[in-house]
Amino acid sequence: MAILSDKHIKEYLDAGKIGIDPLDSPNIQIQPSSVDLRIGNEFKGFKIIRKPCIDPMDESDIDSYMESFYIDEGEPFIIHPGEFALATTYETIKLPDDIVARVEGRSSMGRLGVTMHVTAGYIDPGFHGRITLEISNIGKMPVALYTGQRVCQIVFETMTSPSEKPYGHPERDSKYMGQKRPESSRIKYDKDLIKKIALKKE
């Protein structure tokens, strides 16, 4: 596998092989081996609920544990120390069957104690949609985030061959294909958990 340089990122964008829409400031956003992405205007955070835990085998809708916040242009979303929130990139990403991508936090955000993904930094070939950001403040001070702010970067890697069953393939469990807003975990739709839930009911 090889990471695309700025030269090849531009070539792939021009050829339509990868998609970043909108890419309003390519001269600013395209870095030596990545593209800076901006944060959207919708955030999701966990409500304070009186349940002992989040159980993936509980048929309750995990989304009901969360609430959405829409932030107006120029207004901040404040993420407090120890807090976790979901958001999406402002841009929609489209990948072909032979390229994977990784989302990394920008160094400037990390130095404020804010991480942009916990585990969901990997983007499968064939994915199309906005990228959900898993934001945590591991610092000691609240940090303001603004819609349209560059908060993360996407790195593209070529594969040895196109995937036989890319993300979105009918045989794939592509739960987040085409997402446009912060999506709560859909782990209860994992095929192995569905079988366990069915056995539990018997």
Type of residue at 183: E
134 has catalytic annotation: yes
The CATH number for 149's domain is 2.70.40.10
Rounded Cα distance between 176 and 167, Å, is 9
The answer to whether residue 191 sits within a structural domain is: no
Lowest mean pLDDT among 49-63, 123-137, 141-155: 49-63
Could you tell me which of 121, 128, 120, 122 has the C-alpha nearest to residue 95?
Answer: 128
- pLDDT tier, 108 (very low <50, low <70, confident <90, very high otherwise): very high
The answer to whether residue 187 sits within a structural domain is: no
Task: Give the mean pLDDT of the chain.
Answer: 85
Which pLDDT value is given to residue 94? 96
The answer to whether residue 202 sits within a structural domain is: no
The pTM of this model reads 0.81
Going through the chain in order, the beta strands assigned E by DSSP cover: 2-3, 19-21, 35-46, 66-70, 76-79, 84-94, 99-105, 114-115, 122-123, 128-137, 143-146, 150-158
The percent of residues above 70 in pLDDT, for the chain, comes to 77
- 104, 134, 157, 183: which is the annotated catalytic residue? 134
- Per-residue model confidence as pLDDT tens digits over 162-187: 998 787 776 666 666 667 667 666 55
The answer to whether residue 14 sits within a structural domain is: yes
Structural domain boundaries, residue 95: 1-48+59-180
User: What residue numbers does the annotated binding site for dCTP cover?
Assistant: 106-111, 124, 132-134, 153, 167, 175, 179
